[in-house]
Amino acid sequence: MDSLDTLKARLSKVKIPDAFADMFYGLPEHINFVRARLLAEQISEANE
């Protein structure tokens, strides 16, 4: 999880060309998706 936090923090400082802005815009949401999946897996394993 710390790696995801670091990645998200670094993304907020990245400057990208406008041509890539639409791809870059969705990246934080993908990071949130991965975080949610990892947390759900951890909870599922803890309940077993």
What is residue 36's predicted lDDT score, i.e. its pLDDT? 96
Domain residue limits at 7? 2-47
Residues 6 or more apart in contact with residue 16 via CB below 8 angstroms: 24
Domains in the chain, number:
1
- pLDDT of 35: 94
- Each residue's pLDDT tens digit, 18-48: 888 888 888 889 999 999 999 999 999 998 8
CA distance 27 to 34: 11
Res 21: pLDDT: 86
